[in-house]
């Protein structure tokens, strides 16, 4: 059985279709706000920025620690530059995220962003001071002097005094020479052993005590050397002159070592890195993590993505279904 349509029926159908089309156009024209796909793209952009900020914070922290632990000025400077560059990247991304949140973020997201910005300012301040200390490497330079030139000077002095004692075995003042030479050697070695604890020490008061001990031992060395000089047979002895010269050289190096040790840049930078920096970095990462989660949970009208952790996966899924 065939159904026949009259011209009147066709006109009615055409008129209905036209009205339906007009309704769709009107709805599309007066629809406000971004479309779901645009909202998803906007969400993905913000999440990508937050993720990149977290990554750069972590990279900057690793470079900072490498700068603190490096054993040469060149390596410390290289890692410090990398850390500084990573923090600059975070700051650039922070400004970009601020603009995006001003355009379309929620008030909760903006509040979390302000919270992050506050602790990030603290991190920038701490990082700047820390890296300036790290690249100076005063403690490492002090160690190099203590175990290098200073140790060599004490060794040469010790050898010279030992030769003096051996060659003076038949002198009338041999016994006194042995006691004085051994006294100078022992006191000089004791000063040398106090250098390393001084370099490693963080407390100024303890460093003061160590320097007081060194000063007493220095007096003992000089007293013993003066005692040897008072013995007529030794006044022009080349070994004694060598010992005096070496001890003078050691004393000059010691002053430089103590000055470098007092700056304490390696000890301070390590303490800041493991203390203040670690705490503020944790607060930064925690604030960004909360912000990231908040953006992910932001609802989009007409879109139900359950517990999807990355809005980009929605686009991938939609493309697969097509």
C-alpha 282/C-alpha 300 separation (Å) is: 31
CA distances from 273 to 69, 263, 277 (A): 10, 17, 5
Least confidently predicted of 48-62, 96-110, 182-196, 305-319: 305-319
Question: Where are the domain boundaries for CATH 1.20.1440 in the chain?
Answer: 37-135+267-315, 138-263
Residues 189-214 have pLDDT tens digits of 999 999 999 999 999 999 999 999 99
pLDDT confidence tier of residue 10, bands split at 50, 70 and 90: very low
Q: In the prediction, which pLDDT does 12 show?
A: 47
C-alpha 299/C-alpha 243 separation (Å) is: 83
Looking at per-residue pLDDT, the higher value among 189 and 172 belongs to: 189
Global pTM exceeds 0.85: no
CA distances from 110 to 97, 102, 234 (A): 10, 8, 83
Average pLDDT, the chain: 85
C-alpha 297/C-alpha 290 separation (Å) is: 11
Tell me what the mean pLDDT of segment 220-248 comes to. 92
Looking at per-residue pLDDT, the higher value among 19 and 256 belongs to: 256
Tell me what the mean pLDDT of segment 84-100 comes to. 95
Residue 260 pLDDT > 50:
yes
Tell the burial category of 285 from Cβ atoms under 10 Å away from its Cβ (0-12, 13-18, 19+): middle
Pick the CATH number of 37-135+267-315 from 3.30.70, 1.10.287, 1.10.3470, 1.20.1440: 1.20.1440
Q: In the prediction, which pLDDT does 235 show?
A: 80
- Of the chain, the end-to-end C-alpha distance in Å amounts to 39
Cα-only R_g, the chain: 38
Q: In the prediction, which pLDDT does 317 show?
A: 46
Pick the CATH number of 138-263 from 2.60.40, 1.10.20, 1.20.1440, 1.10.260: 1.20.1440
Residue 301 pLDDT > 70:
no
């Amino acid at each position: 059985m065939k159904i026949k349509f009259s011209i009147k029926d066709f006109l009615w159908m055409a008129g209905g279709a036209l009205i339906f089309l007009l309704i769709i156009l009107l709805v599309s024209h007066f629809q406000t706000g971004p479309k779901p796909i645009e909202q998803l793209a906007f969400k993905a952009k913000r999440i990508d920025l937050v993720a990149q900020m977290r990554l750069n914070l972590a990279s900057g922290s690793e470079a900072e620690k490498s700068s603190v632990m490096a054993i040469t000025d060149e390596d410390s400077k290289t890692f410090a530059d990398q850390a500084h560059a990573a923090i600059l990247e975070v700051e650039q991304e922070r400004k970009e995220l601020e603009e995006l949140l001003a355009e379309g973020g929620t008030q909760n997201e903006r509040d979390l962003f302000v919270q992050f910005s506050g602790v990030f300012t603290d991190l920038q301040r701490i990082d700047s001071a820390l890296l300036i200390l790290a690249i100076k490497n005063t403690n490492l330079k002090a160690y190099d002097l203590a175990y290098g030139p200073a140790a060599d000077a004490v060794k040469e002095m010790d050898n010279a005094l030992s030769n003096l004692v051996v060659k003076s075995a038949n002198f009338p003042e041999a016994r006194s020479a042995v006691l004085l030479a051994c006294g100078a050697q022992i006191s000089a070695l004791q000063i040398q052993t106090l250098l390393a604890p001084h370099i490693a020490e963080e407390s100024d008061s303890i460093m003061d005590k160590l320097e007081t001990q060194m000063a007493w031992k220095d007096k003992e060395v000089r007293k013993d050397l003066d005692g040897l000089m008072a013995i007529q047979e030794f006044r022009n002895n080349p070994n004694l002159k060598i010992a005096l010269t070496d001890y003078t050289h050691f004393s000059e190096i010691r002053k430089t070592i103590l000055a470098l040790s007092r700056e304490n840049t390696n000890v301070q930078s390590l303490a800041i890195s493991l203390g203040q920096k670690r705490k503020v970095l944790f607060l930064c990462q925690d604030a960004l993590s909360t912000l990231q989660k908040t953006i992910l949970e932001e609802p989009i009208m007409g879109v139900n993505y359950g517990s999807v952790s990355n809005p980009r996966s929605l686009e991938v899924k939609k493309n697969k279904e097509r």
